[in-house]
Structure 1
Amino acid sequence: MKKIFLLLLVILGVSCKNESKKEVSKETIAKVEKENFPIELGKVFDAHGGIKEWRKMKTLSFNKEEEVHTSDLHSREIVINSPKYSLGFDGKEIWSLEEVKGSLKRDASFYYNLYFYFYAMPFVLADNGITYQKVDDFVFEGIKYPGYKISYKANVGTSPDDNYIVYYNAKTYQMEWLAYTVTFRSKAPVDNYKMIRYNSWENVSGFILPKQITWYAKDKNNEFVATSKIVDFELPLISQAKLANSFFQKLKK
């Protein structure tokens, strides 16, 4: 709880205000052309607040049920705090701590940044070490969603064989769907994609970030339908304030 209180003090100490979404400008597109990602993805980033503005931010936090997820957007240090357990990455190693024995029923190495990636979409798709490939449109209920496949160079992250496909609205460029693979345990490329619909967004200090995501799966007719797996994100905070490195370290019991 001390870490959660400290986070609030630091974030509230920096002036943050909601801003309306900015339209894509010629200057921004010119900047995107110098980046490694395709111009179309640059427009997706702009629809969500802009990659240039995003890179000024240092701290991101959100709640998922009883968990408070806090990340350093530059070092990618992360801590997840809940009443029963905590886990994270302190810049050197992944750690976990149980306040209630047997309460952490997740592999910390797999879980510590899982929802950070889901929540920080689409901006994490501009990370270093990424390659991009245009893919066929995803068609759902008669609507076509253009997409790009994102893959990682060797030795980038804990699961470099993971692939993502981001699908966006062809008119607004807002992200709509995410297809992804999981290779953490197999340590080998797979073709079995899981599908998430980003069905609700909110303005957080000028950035359009997810409020709710829903997993979809194919039914007996080979059509995608919503599953019961739904995740709500609450109490979002994003700031240019940087937290001390000690914030992400394992607490001593």
Structure 2
Amino acid sequence: MRKLALLIAITVISFSCKNESKKEVMKKENVKEVIKVKKYPEALAAVFEKHGGIDSWNKMKTLSYGVNGEEHTTDLHSRRAVVNSSDYSYGFNGENTWVSDTTKFKKDPKFYYNLYFYFYAMPFVLADDGIVYSEVKPLEFEGKKYPGFKISYKANVGNSSDDNYFIYYDATTKEMSWLGYTVTYFSKKASDKFSIIRYNDWENVNGFLLPKSLTWYQKNEQGNPTEPAREPTVFSLPLLSKASLADSFFEKPTK
């Protein structure tokens, strides 16, 4: 029912936006559009393109998907988010995080409201502002090498600017294959210890390759993956739209 309501809301908003955009065409037909071009490493740009393209991704406004019994909805531009389950909801309204029932959801919403978003919206979240790119040695798995990049953040960017990500891709297909990452949110200290996830199960969602599932892996002493650490995390009912949801959607429920 929540997914159906979300689809209806997006459809209504999209229709309204189309009507408004027609009115604006006459006003702006002689105005040249100014596009801010970002620069990424050439090899990483090829990965973005393989997965649907950064320019196309930036036109999308709403992302929704299900995972672990929760439905996650994110505004891709403001990064406001709502997570709903049968027992609770929590989210971020652009200024503050909130929880509908702290007796049923006792975790820190500031950490969890966008946790799966960062895993699911790969590789596109690795094109955010304030990112610094550097090449790293390839990752090796079953005799194959995967070239990669380290993604670090400038100071005071996001909740954990000391976090690092490591993206590894298939040199032939350009598909993203692995993600290494560190977590500094709770300790607030930089860490060399990283986890690694395999991305090898993709599906087409409105023209973009997004993960249908992903699997955490164990590592050897060289930091290369060896075998699955647990069962895959599966995503369901993905929705990606150019329509934005109302501000009220991201507020804490009154009841």
Q: Give the TM-score of the pair, scaled to structure 2.
A: 0.86
Does the aligned pair in 2 maintain the 1:10–1:241 contact within 8 Å?
no
Deviation at 1:7, TM superposition (A): 1.2
Return 5+ residue gaps in structure 2 as ranges.
16-36
- 2:159 and 2:250 map into 1 onto residues whose CA distance is 19
Shift in CA distance, 168/219, structure 1 to aligned 2, threshold 3 Å: closer
Moved more, 227-236 or 199-208: 227-236
**Is 1:89 the equivalent of 2:88?**
no
Does the aligned pair in 2 maintain the 1:59–1:241 contact within 8 Å?
yes
Cross-structure match for 2:114: 113
Q: Which has the larger radius of gyration?
A: 2
Deviation at 1:224, TM superposition (A): 2.0
Return 5+ residue gaps in structure 1 as ranges.
16-33
Deviation at 1:228, TM superposition (A): 1.4
Cross-structure match for 1:7: 6
Cross-structure match for 2:139: 138
Structure 1 residues 46-61: aligned runs within 5 Å: 46-61=49-64
Cross-structure match for 1:28: none
- 1:43 and 1:107 map into 2 onto residues whose CA distance is 36
- 1:60 and 1:175 map into 2 onto residues whose CA distance is 20
Query: What one-letter code is carried by the residue in structure 2 that aligns with 1:224?
Result: T
Cross-structure match for 2:70: 67
- 1:43 and 1:121 map into 2 onto residues whose CA distance is 14
Deviation at 1:103, TM superposition (A): 2.5
Give the count of matched residue pairs.
232
* Secondary structure of 2:133's aligned partner: strand
Moved more, 126-135 or 210-219: 210-219
Cross-structure match for 1:185: 186
- 2:82 and 2:170 map into 1 onto residues whose CA distance is 33
- 2:227 and 2:90 map into 1 onto residues whose CA distance is 33
Deviation at 1:242, TM superposition (A): 0.6
Shift in CA distance, 221/58, structure 1 to aligned 2, threshold 3 Å: closer
Cross-structure match for 2:19: none
Q: Deviations over 1:93-138 (max 9, x none)?
A: 011112xx63214221111100000000000000000000000000
Deviation at 1:37, TM superposition (A): 1.6
Cross-structure match for 1:27: none
Does the aligned pair in 2 maintain the 1:59–1:239 contact within 8 Å?
yes
- 1:93 and 1:105 map into 2 onto residues whose CA distance is 17
Query: What one-letter code is carried by the residue in structure 2 that aligns with 1:169?
Result: D
Cross-structure match for 2:207: 206
- 1:108 and 1:229 map into 2 onto residues whose CA distance is 25
- 2:96 and 2:3 map into 1 onto residues whose CA distance is 21
Q: Deviations over 1:135-188 (max 9, x none)?
A: 000001100000000011111111111100000000011000000000011101
Q: Give the TM-score of the pair, scaled to structure 1.
A: 0.87
- 2:5 and 2:191 map into 1 onto residues whose CA distance is 41
Q: What fraction of aligned residue pairs are identical, expressed as a percent?
A: 54
Does the aligned pair in 2 maintain the 1:219–1:225 contact within 8 Å?
no
- 1:137 and 1:218 map into 2 onto residues whose CA distance is 14
Query: What one-letter code is carried by the residue in structure 2 that aligns with 1:247?
Result: F
Cross-structure match for 2:104: 103
